[in-house]
Amino acid sequence: MRTKTKFADRPSLPAAFADLVRLLPPMAIKDDSHHRNTVEMIDRLMRIERLSKGQADYLETLVELAEAYEAKRHSIDVDNLGGARMLRHILNESGLSASDLARLLGMHPTMGSKILQGTRRLTWTHAKILADRFRVAPALFMD
């Protein structure tokens, strides 16, 4: 069962920064409940077609606070995963095979499996092709 958050029943948001602060004072987020309330307020502000200056400033403040909390509490360390392992994961999630990889990179069909097995390495050009295709940073695929 989903719990109701703090702002679910509020019909509209004030335009002035100070009035928004009274609803949810911007401060360092300490727990998931506070984070949910902050994200809900961000969502409500994002639905406003034309933000006032106060709303825009308040939104920017909340986004920075939420990002800081997420980076601190919910970050995923990918430093030790390795390029080949990350590539295997992304291909698996995308439903692509080793031959699809080779085709995507314009290589001989056997090269896809060699890259995934780690017997062949990706070049920076290959990493950029993959980054464009999967919308991630090219460095993700490099060891």
Residue 78 maps to a domain: no
pLDDT at residue 135, as a whole number: 86
Cα distance between residue 105 and residue 12, in whole Å: 51
Domain extent for 44: 17-73
Tokens matching residue 122: 């990706």
pLDDT at residue 136, as a whole number: 85
pLDDT at residue 42, as a whole number: 92
Cα distance between residue 30 and residue 7, in whole Å: 18
Residues 89 and 58 both lie in one domain: no
Label residues 111-125 b or e (16+ Cβ within 10 Å = b): bbeebbeeebebeee
Residues 69 and 22 both lie in one domain: yes
Residue 9 maps to a domain: no
DSSP summary character for residue 74: S
pLDDT at residue 78, as a whole number: 56
The number of folded domains in the chain is 2
pLDDT at residue 82, as a whole number: 75
3-state secondary structure of 80: coil
pLDDT at residue 121, as a whole number: 86
pLDDT at residue 86, as a whole number: 85
Residue 10 maps to a domain: no
Residues in the chain, pLDDT under 70? 1-11, 74-81
Cα distance between residue 2 and residue 23, in whole Å: 22
pLDDT at residue 1, as a whole number: 44
